[in-house]
């Protein structure tokens, strides 16, 4: 884990060195700087550097690509926040709220272009390949966001559709970051594909755990309203599984809770949780989560690389799954 922290620091240092002093107009560049300065865990770029290192690549060959995926990620957040009317991001006003949607659209677009600029500065002979992964991933992330938006008005969402949505919306960028790092480190195609699958499956497991924690997390450490997803009728794995399994009286009760305008939040959470518990929804989610987690680990096992270096990835994956909030 120390190694990941080292890379997180390296990414933060590199991002902090981006100067906007000579950039004009300021209306475009101040929000970009603001967005990057808001922080974030920098997991994707750190894992990109770690994947490059896994195959013996030098850090300086991959740092520009690492910055590219982080800038790209922040571009997607800026545009998503417009679409979701989100007032806050990391406890601060979103770009769209602090300025306006025009500024948010355009500064996001610039960040997308900047991420391409950083990517092509990577020291690699595989430029066409990493750009292919990058642009394909960019498209998939947008598809995931659109599918997620569709869910809001879509009456019936299957578990399969849900899993595809979280794969596209959150997992593929993690997976692509790992794969791009591996390719810059000259991993070869097979290893690059395995690390992609490691990241993709881990990302899905992580999102499923997020769904579980929203309701079953420790209220003291969770930081958000426990049961927030239930209050907003969010189509998470838990709810979709319950809709799939509930029959008879339970089904009526669930539908009442989802559609009633008179029920208060506290009793809504209580009554829905009762249904979830009797249908063993938490266990179903954990089974699914373990399936994806084990699949991730099995792809990690298949990678040809020094086992002490692979251990860092395994430890990281386990630490993600052990978090309590």
Q: Measured between alpha carbons, how far is 63 from 307 in angstroms, rounded to an integer? A: 24
Q: Is 63 in the site for a second copy (CB under 8 A)?
A: no
C-beta of 150 vs 287, nearer to a second copy: 150
Instruction: Please report, as residue ranges, which positions from 14 to 53 form the binding site for a second copy (by CB under 8 A).
Output: 24-25, 27-28
Q: Measured between alpha carbons, how far is 152 from 168 in angstroms, rounded to an integer? A: 17
C-beta of 116 vs 320, nearer to a second copy: 116
CB atoms within 10 A of CB 142: 15
CB of 305 to a second copy, least distance (A): 28
C-beta of 36 vs 296, nearer to a second copy: 36
C-beta of 109 vs 286, nearer to a second copy: 109
- Number of chain positions touching a second copy (CB under 8 A): 37
Q: Is 253 in the site for a second copy (CB under 8 A)?
A: no
CB of 11 to a second copy, least distance (A): 21
Q: Is 13 in the site for a second copy (CB under 8 A)?
A: no
Instruction: Please report, as residue ranges, which positions from 102 to 161 form the binding site for a second copy (by CB under 8 A).
Output: 102-103, 105-106, 108-110, 112-114, 116-117, 120, 127-128, 131-132, 134-136, 138-139, 142-143, 145-147, 149-150
Would you list the DSSP string of 187-222?
Answer: --HHHHHHHHHHHHHHHHHHHHHHHHHHHHS-HHHH
Instruction: Using the structure block, give the residue that is written with the tokens 């950039």.
Output: 23
- Which member of 9, 58, 60, 83 binds a second copy (CB under 8 A)? 83
Packing angle of the helix pair 189-216, 159-166 (nearest 10 deg)? 120
CB of 293 to a second copy, least distance (A): 27
Structure token digits, residue 227 = 């049961």
Q: Is 231 in the site for a second copy (CB under 8 A)?
A: no
CB of 84 to a second copy, least distance (A): 9
Establish whether the linkage from the previous residue to 25 is cis, with ω within 30° of 0. yes
C-beta of 173 vs 289, nearer to a second copy: 173
Q: Measured between alpha carbons, how far is 218 from 236 in angstroms, rounded to an integer? A: 19
Question: Strand 92-93 to strand 88-89: parallel, antiparallel, or no bridges (unpaired)?
Answer: antiparallel
Angle at 68 between CA 65 and CA 71, to 5 degrees: 155
C-beta of 106 vs 321, nearer to a second copy: 106
Would you list the DSSP string of 65-82?
Answer: HHHHHHHHHHHHHHHHHH
- The answer to whether 71 and 115 are in contact (CB under 8 A) is yes
C-beta of 17 vs 24, nearer to a second copy: 24
CB atoms within 10 A of CB 232: 12
**89: helix, strand or coil:** strand
Instruction: Please report, as residue ranges, which positions from 184 to 203 form the binding site for a second copy (by CB under 8 A).
Output: none
Which stretches of the chain bind a second copy, using CB under 8 A?
24-25, 27-28, 79, 82-83, 101-103, 105-106, 108-110, 112-114, 116-117, 120, 127-128, 131-132, 134-136, 138-139, 142-143, 145-147, 149-150
């Amino acid at each position: 884990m120390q190694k990941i922290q080292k890379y997180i620091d390296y990414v933060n240092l590199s991002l902090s060195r981006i100067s906007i002093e000579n950039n004009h107009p300021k209306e475009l560049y101040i929000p970009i700087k603001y967005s990057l300065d808001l922080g974030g865990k920098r997991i994707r770029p750190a894992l990109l550097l770690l994947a490059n290192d896994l195959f013996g690549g030098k850090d300086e060959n991959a740092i520009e690509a690492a910055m590219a995926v982080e800038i790209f990620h922040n571009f997607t957040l800026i545009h998503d926040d417009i679409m979701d009317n989100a007032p806050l991001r990391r406890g601060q006003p979103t770009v769209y709220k602090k300025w306006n949607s025009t500024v948010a659209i355009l500064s996001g677009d610039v960040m997308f272009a900047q991420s391409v600029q950083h990517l092509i500065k990577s020291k690699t002979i595989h430029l066409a390949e990493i750009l292919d992964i990058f642009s394909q991933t960019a498209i998939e992330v947008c598809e995931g966001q659109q599918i997620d938006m569709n869910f809001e008005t879509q009456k019936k969402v299957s578990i399969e559709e849900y899993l595809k949505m979280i794969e596209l919306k959150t997992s593929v960028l993690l997976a692509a970051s790992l794969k791009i790092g591996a390719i810059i480190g000259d991993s070869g195609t097979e290893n690059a594909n395995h690390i992609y699958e490691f990241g993709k499956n881990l990302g899905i497991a992580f999102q499923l755990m997020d769904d579980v924690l929203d309701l079953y997390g420790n209220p003291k450490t969770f930081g958000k309203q426990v049961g927030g997803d239930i209050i907003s009728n969010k189509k998470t794995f838990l709810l979709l599984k319950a809709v799939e399994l509930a029959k008879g009286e339970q089904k009526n009760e669930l539908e009442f809770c989802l559609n009633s305008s008179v029920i208060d939040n506290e009793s809504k959470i209580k009554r829905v949780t009762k249904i979830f518990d009797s249908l063993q929804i938490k266990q179903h989610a954990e089974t699914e989560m373990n399936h994806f987690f084990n699949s991730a680990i099995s792809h990690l096992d298949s990678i040809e690389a020094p086992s002490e270096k692979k251990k860092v990835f395994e430890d990281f994956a386990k630490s993600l799954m052990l978090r309590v909030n």
